[in-house]
Amino acid sequence: MFSKACEYGIRSVLFIAEQSEQDKRSNVTEISKAVDSPEPFTAKICQQMARSGIILSKKGPRGGFYIEKDSKLTLADIVSCIDGDKIFNGCCLGLQFCSSENPCPVHDEYLVIREGLTSMCKNNTVIELASKIRNGETFLKM
């Protein structure tokens, strides 16, 4: 459903958030190993998210990527940064003029899925999800 870049981006931000809760900053090598993504691709995604303000970065010996502990960042913010908003409001067949008045063949069925996906992405903060990883309730890599 999400692009590969977006999947890696979400996983990277969740790892960064989990590390940030422990006052740690993560470099690209650590992130790519933790989320099982290619290092050059991870670097590109992290740079894009840092430029957009999704994650923060600090240079120097104690530098790396991090997020604020009180961040209100949601999955929707990450998806919008990397993939744009099309997944939240576009046609699943890619038709430009699909709408309730002029529906594509799967418009009504996809509407339910799209609304559920939008709700899930907007209602889950990165901090909440990172806490589940830290507590062992969920995982990013086996």
- Measured distance CA(113)–CA(35) in Å, rounded: 27
Given a cut of 80, is residue 28 above it in pLDDT?
yes
Does 113 map to a domain? yes
| Number of domains the chain is built from | 1
State pLDDT tens for residues 84-128. 998 998 898 989 899 999 999 999 999 999 999 999 999 999 999
Q: Do the domain assignments include residue 140?
A: no
Domain range for 20 is: 4-134
35-71 per-position pLDDT tens digit = 999 999 999 999 999 999 999 999 988 889 999 989 9
Return the biggest CA–CA distance within the chain: 57
Three-state DSSP state, 56: strand
What φ, ψ does residue 137 adopt, rounded to 5°? -75, -30
List the CATH number of the domain containing 102.
1.10.10.10
Q: How far is 12 from 96, CA to CA, in rounded Å?
A: 32
Residue 142 lies in a domain: no
- Joined together, the tokens standing for residue 43 give 């670097």
Dihedral of the CA atoms 38, 4, 126, 32 (nearest 10)? Answer: 0
Q: What is the predicted pLDDT for the residue at 22?
A: 92
Q: Which amino acid is at 138?
A: T
What is the pTM for the complete model shown? 0.91
